[in-house]
Amino acid sequence: MKSWSDGLLKLVAKCNNFELPGSSKNSCLPFIVSGQQVGLVREDILEHLRPYTDVFEIQHTNHGQSNGCVTPGVYLLDKYQSVEERNEVMKYVLDDLRRKNGLVSLRGWRNETYDIRCKRSDPMMMKMERSGCCLFGTIQYGVHINGYFYDKDGQLMMWLGRRSKTKPTYPDMLDNMCAGGLASDLGIMECAIKECQEEASVEDRYLKNLKSVGCISYCYEDSRGVHPECQFVFDLELSEDFEPNNTDGEVGSFSLHTIEEVKTLIVSEEFKPNCALVILDFLMRHGIVTPDNEPNYPYLNEMMHFPLQSTYLTFGDCCENSQN
Amino acid sequence: MKSWSDGLLKLVAKCNNFELPGSSKNSCLPFIVSGQQVGLVREDILEHLRPYTDVFEIQHTNHGQSNGCVTPGVYLLDKYQSVEERNEVMKYVLDDLRRKNGLVSLRGWRNETYDIRCKRSDPMMMKMERSGCCLFGTIQYGVHINGYFYDKDGQLMMWLGRRSKTKPTYPDMLDNMCAGGLASDLGIMECAIKECQEEASVEDRYLKNLKSVGCISYCYEDSRGVHPECQFVFDLELSEDFEPNNTDGEVGSFSLHTIEEVKTLIVSEEFKPNCALVILDFLMRHGIVTPDNEPNYPYLNEMMHFPLQSTYLTFGDCCENSQN
């Protein structure tokens, strides 16, 4: 069990590598739209944004101005005032960057937009192409569904998906039964139902069991950019005769596992890390991983709920405080 | 629903007031035992510790020393090397402070010790009288049990306890069905079972349903001191014919509520705040509060899992980093 416990520590570290010493955290600039921080831009990505002087103002040093405090940041110019104007100019920048082909992330273009906000409860500032979000370090939201059942012997079984080999990110890796990003204009339960239907052909008689059970949050960075993410988690209790069937080509295959097998798989290299975290949360909520059998229980729990909404996007607060 | 939602924001703010602007957070000194930070001491409490020059060394400013970095802090003198020596000297200090009668917290002397560690997974450094822990801002652990059932119409019902009028803290306020601090030398499930038996006379046939479902963490301060707390949460599904019955005098009375009544009560002034947070976690895990019906869902979730283990006791890390 010691090595499994170590595997869990590695897992939460991987999902939160932006918080570890040596990350780019301290050299990122806040991305600011209309006085609100909505993301973080890494130095290597900043270089790609410099040419767009008619779109962004880049401030490197802290200095006072007659009209208030100016802190370092990448500022979307205030002339883009409406949501529509911002959508349009960000689309122009990302299309142009994609054409130049210098950014890994944009090679996985999704043709799907995410809503950009400061906190989740704040008004929408603009929409942005999904593959561009990590360039600006905006919080991305998604839904993940744990598909499970108790077999006739009372044994807990879980369905896992294996991602299609053609997925732009984490191809061929193990995943939750269904999951997906929260596209613009979709409700969260609505999005979860859609993923269950499209990815696993879950019928209505099971969908009534779909239950919202929490969310996890974490922040990692990789060659693509910075990824602060919040995943809304759903449990879906199935019965032994159900078998998932993919219709949208996003899942390569499904496999059924005992919970002991699942425990081994989530600390293996073949599991997409954030999906493994969703399962760790499941194991804790279902009394399988407990504070008595896992010494790092409080730490793991905290690192699965990293405070993105309160301590990550602090630019606005910082500015507010300096004005007091 | 707007005002209920505001009530939840007030609740998480109350439980995390140590993180709010204007708190004593930035003026506290770390409490250090054998090179490890195990707590935080507030300025008003520091004055009471000053006379004990044979027990603590108090450093106010950062300065280098030949044998490594010395950062500001309240250091338990290194001559108290063993757990037994530390237990003894801390008992001496707290007994003496209690006799002087200048600290509110010690008027609620418990005669019960807590294990003091840096992180939960670290070795125990010493034991400390429960009412003294908030003077040194050490993390306190406890167990909370949600007692609930579905009635014959399928309606979710929950038992609440009302704290005895003679409790030293939060007398006569609403509480979870059972809860208690994690005393030294008790396992966590063991402690939860004990509380169920002593506080509510739960019989074995129900105790088999007791399920570990997560933990919440937060940090607040009050006139007594600083309270970083982690509560291990348990769900206990009961049946309609069960009725809790207190045997240890800690609970004044029990009452049974629909979940709608519980929702109203947790944002009222008569609920002990951390117990209300335990119920908010229950409402989220059971699909009653969802990201579709609660705009601050991610924020609330994050503030119920404040990272005490990783970002609160950072003295040791800080020292390690400065040595790299």
- Give the residue on A whose Cα is nearest the Cα of B290: A212
CATH class of A2-18+140-308: alpha beta
Identify the band that residue A314 occupies on the pLDDT scale cut at 50, 70 and 90.
low
Report, as an integer, the average pLDDT of B65-73.
68
User: What amino acid is encoded at A257 in this protein?
Assistant: H
Identify the band that residue A318 occupies on the pLDDT scale cut at 50, 70 and 90.
very low
Per-residue pLDDT of B224-234, as tens digits, reads: 999 999 999 99
CB contact under 8 A, A307 and B306: yes
Identify the band that residue A248 occupies on the pLDDT scale cut at 50, 70 and 90.
confident
Per-residue pLDDT of B31-61, as tens digits, reads: 999 999 999 999 999 999 999 999 999 998 7
Residue A273 vs residue A166, higher pLDDT: A273
Report, as an integer, the average pLDDT of A218-247.
97
CB contact under 8 A, A217 and B321: no
- Which CATH number among 3.40.190.10, 3.30.750.160, 2.102.10.10, 3.40.50.970 corresponds to the domain B23-136? 3.30.750.160
Question: How far apart are the CA of A292 and the nearest CA of chain B, in angstroms?
Answer: 6
CB contact under 8 A, A213 and B298: no
CB contact under 8 A, B305 and A302: yes
Report, as an integer, the average pLDDT of A18-35.
93
Per-residue pLDDT of A109-162, as tens digits, reads: 999 999 999 999 999 999 999 999 999 999 999 999 999 999 999 999 999 999
Report domain extents, chain B. 2-18+140-308, 23-136
**Chain A residues in contact with B307 (beta carbon < 8 A):** 302-303, 305-307
**Chain B residues in contact with A21 (beta carbon < 8 A):** 321
Report, as an integer, the average pLDDT of A206-234.
97
CB contact under 8 A, B309 and A287: no
CATH class of A23-138: alpha beta
Per-residue pLDDT of A178-212, as tens digits, reads: 999 998 889 999 999 999 999 999 999 999 999 99
Task: Point out the residue among B19, B291, B302 whose CB comes nearest to the CB of A308.
Answer: B302
Q: Is A63's pLDDT higher than 80?
A: no
> What pLDDT is stored for residue B115 in this prediction?
95
The interface pTM score, or ipTM, of the predicted complex is 0.94
Residues 6+ apart with CB under 8 A from A317: none
CB-based contact, B298 to chain A, within 8 Å: yes
CB-based contact, A119 to chain B, within 8 Å: yes
CB contact under 8 A, B301 and A187: no
B-contacting residues in A 225-254 (Cβ below 8 Å): 230, 232
**Chain A residues in contact with B188 (beta carbon < 8 A):** 290-292
Report, as an integer, the average pLDDT of A96-116.
96
CB contact under 8 A, B299 and A120: yes
Report, as an integer, the average pLDDT of A300-305.
97
Per-residue pLDDT of B273-312, as tens digits, reads: 999 999 999 999 999 999 999 999 999 999 999 999 987 6
CB contact under 8 A, B230 and A298: yes
Identify the band that residue B179 occupies on the pLDDT scale cut at 50, 70 and 90.
very high
Report, as an integer, the average pLDDT of B247-252.
86
Q: β-pairing, A29-33 with A36-41?
A: antiparallel
Identify the band that residue B24 occupies on the pLDDT scale cut at 50, 70 and 90.
very high
Question: How far apart are the CA of A242 and the nearest CA of chain B, in angstroms?
Answer: 23
Give the whole-number percent of chain B exceeding pLDDT 90. Answer: 86
CB contact under 8 A, A310 and B303: yes
Q: What is the 3-state secondary structure (H, E, C) of chain A?
A: CHHHHHHHHHHHHHHCHHHCCCCCHHHCEEEEECCEEEEEECHHHHHHHCCCCCCEEEECCCEEECCEEECCEEEECCCCCCHHHHHHHHHHHHHHHHHHCCCHHHHHCCCCEEEECCCCCCCCCEEEEHHHHHHHCCCEEEEEEEEEEECCCCCEEEEEEEECCCCCCCCCCEEECEEEECCCCCCHHHHHHHHHHHHHCCCHHHHCCCEEEEEEEEEEEECCEEEEEEEEEEEEECCCCCCCCCCCCCEEEEEEEEHHHHHHHHCCCCECHHHHHHHHHHHHHCCCCCCCCCCCHHHHHHHCECCHHHHHCCHHHHHHHHHC
